[in-house]
Amino acid sequence: MLLFLISGIALTILAGFYLMTQVFQMVKIDAYYRGIKHPKFWAFLASTGQRGDGLILYLLKRRNFQRETMSDKDFLAFQSYKGRALVALIFQLVGAAMTIIALILYLR
């Protein structure tokens, strides 16, 4: 049971880091095509933080900028990052569920 608990915690943490990198890549591409200065800074700010404060701040800032048309290569990369982020979120939820189930069974 302890191995199940450790596996759930590890899956949650690893999926969280993977989700963070995918959000970083998506925001970097979006900020570049919107003409926002320092897109890597905004991507870092949006992808870190425990409560999503940076992402909310970025979403408020990007309202003032119109997005230019993305190149086909960047559009496909953006869609790929979006799909990977969804998969990472699913794995994070599965890991959290594994952790909660293991804790319930372990503490009985």
Q: What pTM does this model have? A: 0.88
Amino acid occupying residue 66: Q
Q: What is the reported pLDDT for 52? A: 86
Amino acid occupying residue 26: M
Rounded Cα gap, residues 83 and 79, in angstroms: 6
Number of domains in the chain: 1
Residue 7 — pLDDT band, cuts 50, 70, 90? very high
Q: What is the reported pLDDT for 89? A: 96
Rounded Cα gap, residues 26 and 55, in angstroms: 11
Percent of the chain as helix, strand, coil, to the nearest 5: 80, 0, 20
Domain that holds residue 44: 2-106
First to last CA, the chain: 11
Q: What is the pLDDT of residues 44-74, one digit of tens each?
A: 999 987 788 999 999 999 998 998 899 999 9
